[in-house]
Structure 1
Amino acid sequence: MSNEMINDVAQLLASQLQGPVALLLGGHSAEREISLQSGEAVYQALKAKNIAAEKIDTKNDDWLERVAKFKHAFIALHGGDGENGNVQAELEKIGLSYTGSGVAASAKAMDKVHCKKIWEKINLSTPSFVELTEDSDWVGIIQQWGTVIIKPATEGSSIGMAVANTAEQLAAAYQQAKPYGSLVMAEQWVSGAEFTVAILGDKPLPPIKLETDHGFYNYDAKYIAEDTRYICPCGLSAEKEQELQQLALAAFDSVGCKGWGRVDVMQNEQGQFYLLEVNTVPGMTSHSLVPMAAKAAGLSFADLVLKILQLSIAEAKN
């Protein structure tokens, strides 16, 4: 898309918005700091496109009262605050349209266990898993799978995650993950390459291969480390890349997601892909993956923000 066309889109959007955009950021979740960074980046992009926006931190008690004066919201909230459907439900109650997935899809995608059950039911490959409780058979789980990764089922940014090779490590990891949500799962470890596929509208963007020396792509590798490697083009054959993109799109659609998002996938040493999770409000920071994928597809960060907004306005009209 040429700069002239993009500017025309920005002008059209500005007229359709009927006023400034409410940019929701911050919130209460464990991903608050990342959300503040994402929100600031989105704010600067909107400003660069001459689209008025007001930053609203949903941690403040009066956020909904402040939002009520707007017609449209850009959601830059990560974790439970912006991805479990609650904020979307509140916005719908007062008649505001918003970016990204709706209430039901957000709730499903936020719950990794729910997501994986959906994928298993329709035969989309995902690693085997078990829900953990205080009475889980730690020894039996390790005997069955060897290495597992422990995840809070409703948290993002790899918060609360850990890898376990022994029953003792598994039990300890469960205790560490519990503060991040009542539901914790252990997932069979997939040894191999990790990929992520951004979805924009109904199209998958170029996949990115992730390489880190941290054991797995954890919080530090995502947001702090400077040695994490993001490989795009991802190095797959054209056939395997298309297979990966179609799997990611199928996973995204199966949960009912729309607008934009990101699907994380592992590939084992035999070349089989396994779905990990769907992110309905991915990070939009300097380390974030969706902007990288968009850049590989020819979209600048500001163009990406504009496209997300454009998709949500089009959705609101339908």
Structure 2
Amino acid sequence: MNIVVLAGGNSTEREVSISSGQGVCQALRERNHKAILVDAYFGKESMDGELFSEKYDTEQAAAWMRKQSNNLEEVMKTRQEFFGPHVLEICQKADIVFLALHGANGEDGKVQSVLDLMGIKYTGCGPLSSGMAMDKGITKMVFEAKGVPTPKGMTLEKGECSSYLSDYGMDFPVIVKPCCGGSSVGVCIAHNQQEYGAALMEAFSYENQVVVEQFITGREFSVAVVDGKAYPVIEIAPLEGFYDYKNKYSAGSCVETCPADLPASLTKEMQMYAEKGYEALNLQAYARLDFLMEEDGSMYCLEANTLPGMTPTSLIPQEASVIGMNYPQLCEKLIEVSLKKYQ
């Protein structure tokens, strides 16, 4: 297949996206697909030459994308459009686009809407479900309505909310996070009023809506759901703090165990809630749902990630390896289940 791996973009998760895209592109080429890596935001300077060539240097393409990152802020000051030169033209020539974008403008349904309007096939969820899952406030409301356990919380608007937690009937500690951010960027734990004020300021520096929810002390888990079926549960145990941006992307900062060391009954329960959350948000193809579990076994679904990290060592590849699927096979599997949307 001729495949465009679309990565980069202009979100706070650009660098993670490039790593995902590089890994996916290389893996698909190992499976004899003609995959190329395209930067959604910076595009390609010309359409000269053969696009889907047998001879293609994925590392060189990723290095070029990382170099462009140095100019990202300057370009964003003067350019309004998201897609770079020739991006959509190139995508139209592919059999499918593998979305390796993360965060705003990639994971929130905007790119998916454009691709749908242009008749371009792509991996992952559609626009509506992507947008719902990206918004942690909406996700929380849907989970509560559909019986998926989630921490008590609320959505606050910048300039229209009280800075005192007691006004909302909640107690410390709480976790404060941007409503539509990813990779735990801007997420803070507040144990008292002073920390809460600082956490609100930090979260509101990213977005005009933030989610405040009861902080759950417990073990952290994640469950991939592929084509509606839950994969093995993985536990993430940060050596320090919680699973924030630093711990997610710093080598050796977490111990990841898959399958998680849990009684069979709790494993099945968590997988059941992962599938239920996937269904509640009307997700398609694949997603990853994150959980916290207290000592007594009470579990809470925090959010759904519709374009989760896809580096070779990311969580979903680890879960897939437990059921005998290597990384290149997983990349192919995600294309296979995504194509069902178009049947």
Same fold (TM over 0.5): yes
Q: How many residues align?
A: 299
The partner residue of 2:193 within 158, 161, 167 is 167
Map of 1:190 onto structure 2? 216
Q: Structure 2 vs 1, CA of residues 286 and 71 (structure 1 numbering), >3 Å: closer, same or farther?
A: closer
Q: Distance in 2 between matches of 1:281 and 1:199?
A: 12
Map of 1:120 onto structure 2? 144
Q: Which shows bigger deviation, 213-222 or 134-143?
A: 134-143
Tell me which amino acid in the other structure corresponds to 2:9: G
The partner residue of 1:98 within 118, 122, 125 is 122
Map of 1:56 onto structure 2? 38
Report if the CA contact (8 A) 2:228-2:278 is conserved. Answer: no
Q: Distance in 2 between matches of 1:154 and 1:143?
A: 24
Report if the CA contact (8 A) 1:142-1:165 is conserved. Answer: no
Report if the CA contact (8 A) 1:41-1:285 is conserved. Answer: yes
Q: Distance in 1 between matches of 2:139 and 2:97?
A: 26
The partner residue of 1:151 within 160, 172, 177 is 177
> What are the equivalent positions in structure 2 for 1:21-60 lying under 5 Å apart?
21-60=3-42
Deviations 1:181-220 (A, max 9, x none): 2211111001111110011112111001111133210111
Q: Structure 2 vs 1, CA of residues 234 and 137 (structure 1 numbering), >3 Å: closer, same or farther?
A: same
Tell me which amino acid in the other structure corresponds to 1:193: R
- Provide the secondary structure at the position in 1 that maps to 2:269: helix
Aligned Cα root-mean-square deviation (Å): 1.5
Map of 1:9 onto structure 2? none
Give the superposition deviation at 1:142: 9.2
Q: Structure 2 vs 1, CA of residues 58 and 141 (structure 1 numbering), >3 Å: closer, same or farther?
A: farther
Tell me which amino acid in the other structure corresponds to 2:181: E
Tell me which amino acid in the other structure corresponds to 1:292: Q
Report if the CA contact (8 A) 2:222-2:288 is conserved. Answer: yes
- Flag structure 2 segments of 5+ consecutive residues without an equivalent: 43-83
Q: Which shows bigger deviation, 269-278 or 67-76?
A: 67-76
Matched residues, percent identical? Answer: 35
Report if the CA contact (8 A) 1:261-1:278 is conserved. Answer: yes
Report if the CA contact (8 A) 1:142-1:167 is conserved. Answer: no
Give the superposition deviation at 1:255: 0.4
Tell me which amino acid in the other structure corresponds to 2:288: R
Report if the CA contact (8 A) 2:170-2:214 is conserved. Answer: no
Tell me which amino acid in the other structure corresponds to 2:11: S
Q: Distance in 2 between matches of 1:139 and 1:241?
A: 34
Give the superposition deviation at 1:286: 4.2
The partner residue of 2:243 within 197, 200, 217 is 217
Moved over 3 A (4+): none
Report if the CA contact (8 A) 1:42-1:305 is conserved. Answer: yes
- Flag structure 1 segments of 5+ consecutive residues without an equivalent: 1-13, 15-19
User: Is structure 2 residue 51 aligned with structure 1 residue 69?
Assistant: no
Map of 2:259 onto structure 1? 233
Report if the CA contact (8 A) 2:240-2:253 is conserved. Answer: no
- Provide the secondary structure at the position in 2 that maps to 1:119: helix
Map of 1:180 onto structure 2? 206
Report if the CA contact (8 A) 2:233-2:271 is conserved. Answer: yes
Q: Distance in 1 between matches of 2:240 and 2:179?
A: 21
Deviations 1:45-82 (A, max 9, x none): 00000011121111122222332333321100000122
Q: Distance in 2 between matches of 1:291 and 1:306?
A: 12
Map of 2:315 onto structure 1? 289
Give the superposition deviation at 1:130: 2.0
- Provide the secondary structure at the position in 1 that maps to 2:105: helix
Give the superposition deviation at 1:98: 0.8
Give the superposition deviation at 1:114: 0.3
The partner residue of 1:278 within 278, 301, 304 is 304
Tell me which amino acid in the other structure corresponds to 2:121: S
Deviations 1:152-196 (A, max 9, x none): 110111111011101111111111112322211111001111110
Map of 1:207 onto structure 2? 233
Give the superposition deviation at 1:235: 1.2
Give the superposition deviation at 1:141: 6.2
Q: Distance in 1 between matches of 2:30 and 2:307?
A: 21
Give the superposition deviation at 1:288: 1.2
